[in-house]
Amino acid sequence: MRGWAYALAHKEEIVDLMRRKYSAQKSQKALLFEAARTELLIEPHLTAIGHQSIARWKAIARAYVDLGMLGEAKLPEGLIYASDDGSWRLQMRDPILWAFPAVAVAILLSRILYRRIARSIGARD
């Protein structure tokens, strides 16, 4: 992951290294173009390099289904590495897990607010 971050931050240096050490078949301009397009695909400003979530993989699978490249948006078992330490902090990184508590808190707060408004309207009459 650090290698990708470094390569995106130092495109010209990496292109020169690639041409010098591996192959000079492509021009520097062509490789810089590829590097810029790769960065657009990676979108490191939106998602940290290397970050994964089931929700993100499901969205990718649905896009492939929509494009006709997959028959169904089913993910393979064990696609994302899960640590054996059972840490709840690691499991709570997935934003979908926060949806239920957020909805529950919103319902609770709306009920409290509704009761207060109902009491204040009733007290005025």
Q: Inform me whether the pLDDT recorded for 123 exceeds 80.
A: no
Contact between residue 64 and residue 70 where contact means Cβ atoms under 8 Å apart: yes
Summarize the confidence of residues 14-26 as an average pLDDT: 93
- Give me the chain's average pLDDT, please: 85
How far apart, in whole angstroms, are the C-alpha atoms of residue 49 and residue 29? 25
pLDDT digits (tens, 9 = 90+) for 44-94: 888 888 888 888 889 989 999 999 998 998 888 888 776 666 566 666 667
How far apart, in whole angstroms, are the C-alpha atoms of residue 8 and residue 26? 18
| pLDDT for the residue numbered 9 | 95
Domain ranges of the chain: 1-51, 95-125
